[in-house]
Chains A and B, each alone.
Chain A
Amino acid sequence: MNSETRNDRLSLSFSRRFGPELATVLTGIPALVVAGMFGWILADILYHGLTQFSWAFLTSAPEDAGRQGGISTILVSTLMILGITLIIVVPVSLATAVELAERRSRSVRFDRLVRRSLDVLAACPSIVFGLFGNAFFCVYLKMGYSILAGGLTLACMVLPLLIRTSEQAIRAVPDEYRHAAASLGLSRWTTLFRIVLPAALPAMAAGLVLSIGRALSETAALIFTSGYVTRSPESLFDSGRAMSVHIYDLAMNVPGGNPRAYATAATLLIVLLVINGIAVRLTRIAGLTLNPSLEKNH
């Protein structure tokens, strides 16, 4: 046996022996790093935030530019902005998604144009929406810095994403259902509302929940539209400060604001984690309703 074949054999046995392990290590390290970073941020915010956290923090108004007191008015503003966003976004995205997914006589060109526009809009940085909202709602439509302007701006921001997820949810409903419905002489209305939309509902709800998460964590689009007054808004035309804006302001502009910023961030984080949990559950339910065989393997 000469040394060359022996070398070959050695290297072969090396890769055979260590190949899978090496791959595991190489792919495992980045995964660990990512999970570790997430864990670190989570632990940091919860550690610093939860020490400040109490029922009183949620129910009392901010004092001393937010250094003292709680975030009750901030929560009210956030919920009002979110409410406006949802009132606009749910019907509009539903109608658009149905139109895109279910229309029979379709112009391929027009559809492609709409989809591409939506994708571009969905990828736009939120500051762009903030500036647009400021120019259009606050200035042009004379709403000023207000809850209404903020909610409408957020609606513009999450609509593209929500339309696309809803459209995909509707498309994911198997055509077999539509064929069965047509063969029974069911109207398109019945087919849509009794069969297609219920089947698509969990996946659409998951998209909605993710959109809410995105709206809740938005700062840039709101600073220039709903403003940063910490007072409780009395109407939709008052200015109000959303949670993420509050965190930003405390951390960047208020010396000594860090503890309360942490507490607010912890609150927001917990809400987002809950929302994500809901989204995951809904997605799983969506999989089950459309593909019940999964249930058996469960």
Chain B
Amino acid sequence: MIQVESLSVFYGERVAVQNATLIAPSGTITAIVGPSGCGKSSFLAALNRMTDLIPGARTEGTVRIHGQNTYGDDISPALLRRSIGMIFQKANPFPLSIRQNLQLALREHGVRQRPELESRTEAALRDVGLWDEVKDRLDQPALRLSGGQQQRLCIARAIILEPRVLLMDEPCSALDPIASAHVESLIQSFKGRYTILIVTHNLAQARRLADHLAVFWYEGEAGRIIEQGNATELFDNPQHPTVAAYLAGQRG
């Protein structure tokens, strides 16, 4: 369960996200849509404190993930991020072998026994449907994989740490239609298992995947959530005229 309350994200003087409030129940998929530059990525990055890495970035408001306050004083960002998987628009496997990509973080987090490392590697690769494609070349560079395979490897790299939350920032937008469909059905299969927040520009995809929908818009010098709710209801019956036009494909 993700509870976000009046979250604002600032870059220096600039407000990227203003007062965003959102609740995502456990095991559901929440799609975040909206035009470019309205703060979707910033919102996502604030949830696992990736904003800490950006000089001059600052947040306000509260974020609770499974009851735990993301910005609490006793929280270690590294520990927090370990329990929150993040998938980026551009697949970014490390320039290492497939095996090392998956095991680097596991080892860092204390898994040392070879059998456990191997079995978790296999399980993660099976979960993303990559096992049969790569089982004979686990020691080859991950960067030799195709774009779609790389993105699935990144997803495997995230879920091998057994997070409860997945944050996905346009995970399909750099992929060809077939690879994109593949990743999408993968996300579909994750429903119930992870709490997923997915940013997408593909409204049809949002409609197919999402239980819950949040529409971001740039309004009054800042990005904000202008409407949210049950995905089916919101698609069928949006209240906000801007949202209605956007969802009908006329704006944004």
Contact = CB atoms under 8 A, between A and B. Distances in A.
B81 A182 contact: yes
Question: A178, A184, A187, A198 — which one has the most chain B CB atoms within 10 A of its CB?
Answer: A184
A52 to B, nearest CB: 47
B105 A182 contact: no
B79 interface: yes
A176 B154 CA distance: 12
Interface in A167-191: 174, 176-187, 190
Given A181-B94, A183-B158, 10 more contacts: A180-B94, A182-B81, A184-B157, A185-B77, A185-B161, A186-B104, A187-B78, A190-B104, A199-B95, A289-B95
B108 interface: yes
A43 B96 CA distance: 44
B48 A183 contact: yes
Contact of B158 (A176, A179, A184, A199): A184
B207 interface: no
Interface string B35-52: 000000000000010100
- 6 smallest CB-CB distances across A and B, nearest first, come from A185-B82, A176-B92, A183-B86, A292-B143, A184-B105, A185-B78
B55 interface: yes
Nearest to A188: B78
Contacts of A105: 55
Contact of A194 (B48, B50, B104): B104
A190 B100 CA distance: 13
A183 B157 CA distance: 10
Interface in B29-82: 48, 50, 53, 55, 77-82
Interface in A100-140: 104-106
B95 A179 contact: no
A187 B108 contact: yes
Tell me what chain A mostly uses at the interface: helix, strand, loop, or mixed.
Answer: helix
A187 B81 CA distance: 11
A290 interface: yes
Contacts of A181: 94
Nearest to A180: B92
A110 to B, nearest CB: 14
Contact of B78 (A176, A179, A180, A186): A186
Contacts, number: 74
B68 to A, nearest CB: 14
A186 B86 CA distance: 13
Question: A104, A180, A198, A290 — which one has the most chain B CB atoms within 10 A of its CB?
Answer: A180
Contacts of A178: 53
B92 A179 contact: yes
Nearest to A189: B108
16 contacts: A179-B53, A180-B92, A180-B154, A182-B81, A183-B48, A183-B50, A183-B86, A183-B88, A185-B109, A186-B105, A187-B78, A190-B104, A198-B96, A292-B141, A292-B143, A292-B144
Contacts of A12: none
B55 A176 contact: no
B95 A290 contact: yes
Nearest to B81: A185
Interface string B140-175: 010110000000001001100100000000000000
A6 to B, nearest CB: 56
A142 B134 CA distance: 63
A90 interface: no
A195 interface: yes
B191 interface: no
Contacts of A180: 88, 92-94, 154, 157
B223 interface: no
B161 A182 contact: no
B104 A183 contact: no
Nearest to B142: A292
A123 to B, nearest CB: 30
A10 B85 CA distance: 69
A179 B143 CA distance: 17
